[in-house]
Amino acid sequence: MKAEIEIGKDVHDTPVLVDVEELLATRLLVQGNSGSGKSHLLRRLLEQSAQMVQQVVIDPEGDFTSLADHFDHVVIEGASYSPREIEALAGRIRQHRASVVLALEELEVEQQIRCAAQFLTALFDAPREHWFPALVVVDEAQMFAPSAAGEMAEDTRRMTLSAMTNLMCRGRKRGLAGIVATQRLAKLAKNVAAEASNFLMGRTFLDIDMQRAADLLGMDRKQAERIRDLQRGHFLGLGPAVSRRPVAVHIGSVKSGGKNSATALTPLPKTDAEAMGALLHDSLKEEAAEPVRTPPPSPPPAPAVEELAQSMADSAEPAQPEGDSPAIPLPQGDIDGVLREMAAEDGASFTPASTLFRTFATRCRERAIPSAHVDMPAFRRLFAFASAGVGRLDPEQRERVEHMAENVAEDVLAPYLAIVVAAAEGRASPDEDTLARVYGTASPGRIRRLLEHLEKTGLIVVHEDFGGQRTITVPGIEEVVA
């Protein structure tokens, strides 16, 4: 028996079917302008196949969380978890074959991208015994696999492109079938789009997108003009899981509601100006006096090298007390010293950063060391530098290392720096115990994953021989050693 679902009807009202097994092997690309009905289409596909196959939805807009009201999907709010928790959740999702919606709308764009990339990478990295088939739906895929550099940090871009490329190019063997939807085909990385063999093309205005759609569908320009005239909810489908010839399909209805309901005109309220004025001003002062709802914290941005250099320089020369008032105590030591001392203490890397930061502030205060310029994000980076022993290098080397670490994410900075420092000092790469200590983990599996992650993001190159001997090289280290 074929595992088929009906996604809609063609012009003769004949059901248009999608073969889910074939879809798992051949992936799907959906394109259409805003409002053309992509998310509705994805929802129809997910609802119809919910009982057949595990589903994982990457949902930047929180559009798909309502699936949980009708099916067994678990909603995972990306903003509520640390990167490592997201990875652990992804591993369990594969193990237990859970259908989930990763809702990202509470995060800022760059954090959405990092969260999704970490999640997808961990799905991909699941051990072989958990390679069960699953549909992995990525809406707004141009965000996660952009064709141009854009404004995100370089390491974020590399991380997300590698996650999406792995999903679309190498996912099949591991059971993962990518289904990606985008408003603008021209904005989606070519290698990600090219890996789908099934297409559903909705209304498309821009020539450049139409041209790319036509190329993918194997249509000439004139035929492709059809795409421009498509109505909302109508798509042109082609591919081994849909149809061998282009077929026009009107997508069927859905059970669960999307958040973005159609913008239809609704009658205006019958309130006169006076009453409306009163409504708008009712308890306005009280509301304005309430504290602002703060968005969930996002990982700190990397401080600029100059900033780090400045705070290191500041700490190198103890500030002189103003005037000669005897009431002001003389500083005892400097910031570097406090950081070194803390980093050397047992279990420091296992202590939450907020606790460490409080200890740091207290010690600086006790010793009259000015530290107000070191905020939490700067502290976390400085602490990573101290834990890795960057201070042992000479100033010129230190500057180069700071430069190399500029765009490295804070959560992997300390182990990365430990590897860099060892290489700069001409020592063998740190062993697992050392890495585990600076990374704040006791799990060898995590260290392996950390190294894989660092390698995937291009920060290190790992060579493991058949005897299990591991050597790590760091691209760009020649600059430091020279």
Ligand X SMILES: Nc1ncnc2c1ncn2[C@@H]1O[C@H](COP(=O)(O)OP(=O)(O)OP(=O)(O)O)[C@@H](O)[C@H]1O
Q: Which does 99 bind (CB under 5 to 8 A by kind): Mg ion, ligand X, none?
A: none
Name residues contacting ligand X, limited to 150-209 (CB under 6 A): 183
CB of 8 to ligand X, least distance (A): 7
CA gap 265, 467 in Å, rounded: 70
Quick one: tokens of 325?
């008032």
Q: Which does 258 bind (CB under 5 to 8 A by kind): Mg ion, ligand X, none?
A: ligand X
Q: List, in sequence order, the alpha helices (H) in 50-100.
A: 67-70, 83-96
Under 8 Å between Cβ of 11 and 26: no
- CA proximity to 387, closest of 346, 442, 447, 332: 346
Q: Which does 31 bind (CB under 5 to 8 A by kind): ligand X, Mg ion, none?
A: none
Q: Considering only residues 84, 172, 232, 255, which one is a binding residue for ligand X as defined by CB under 6 A?
A: 232
| Closer CB to ligand X, 35 or 321, in the complex | 35
Name residues contacting Mg ion, limited to 4-63 (CB under 5 A): 39
Q: Which helix (H) or strand (E) holds 285?
A: helix 284-289
Q: Which does 36 bind (CB under 5 to 8 A by kind): ligand X, Mg ion, none?
A: ligand X
CB of 139 to Mg ion, least distance (A): 6
User: Considering only 33-41, 159-167, 323-331, 353-361, which stretch makes contact with ligand X by CB under 6 A?
Assistant: 33-41
Q: Considering only residues 1, 262, 372, 482, which one is a binding residue for ligand X as defined by CB under 6 A?
A: 262
User: Considering only 129-137, 259-267, 369-377, 444-452, which stretch makes contact with ligand X by CB under 6 A?
Assistant: 259-267
User: Considering only 31-39, 50-58, 170-178, 333-341, which stretch makes contact with ligand X by CB under 6 A?
Assistant: 31-39
Task: Kindly list the distances between the CA atom of residue 93 and the CA atoms of 76, 171, 175, 355, 441, in Å, as whole numbers in the listed order.
Answer: 11, 16, 13, 31, 22
Q: Considering only residues 251, 420, 438, 451, which one is a binding residue for ligand X as defined by CB under 6 A?
A: 251
CB of 181 to ligand X, least distance (A): 7
| Closer CB to ligand X, 30 or 404, in the complex | 30
- Rule CB under 5 A: is residue 315 a binding residue for Mg ion? no
Quick one: tokens of 250?
């009107």
User: Edge-to-edge strand order for the sheet containing 243-251?
Assistant: 15-19, 4-9, 243-251, 234-239, 198-201, 28-31, 176-182, 134-138, 54-59, 100-103, 74-77
Under 8 Å between Cβ of 194 and 169: no
| Closer CB to Mg ion, 39 or 315, in the complex | 39
| Closer CB to ligand X, 61 or 77, in the complex | 61
DSSP single-letter state for residue 341: H
- CA proximity to 446, closest of 412, 407, 410, 406: 412
Q: Which does 251 bind (CB under 5 to 8 A by kind): ligand X, Mg ion, none?
A: ligand X
CB of 35 to ligand X, least distance (A): 5
Q: Which residues, other chains included, contact 435 with Cβ-Cβ below 8 Å and sequence gap of 6+?
A: 415, 418, 419, 447, 450, 451
Dihedral angle over CA of 250, 254, 260, 263, nearest 10: 50
Q: Give the amino acid at 47.
A: E
Q: Which does 40 bind (CB under 5 to 8 A by kind): ligand X, Mg ion, none?
A: ligand X
| Closer CB to Mg ion, 43 or 250, in the complex | 43
Query: Contact residues for Mg ion (CB under 5 A)?
Result: 39
Query: Contact residues for ligand X (CB under 6 A)?
Result: 32, 34-40, 183, 232-233, 251, 258, 260-262
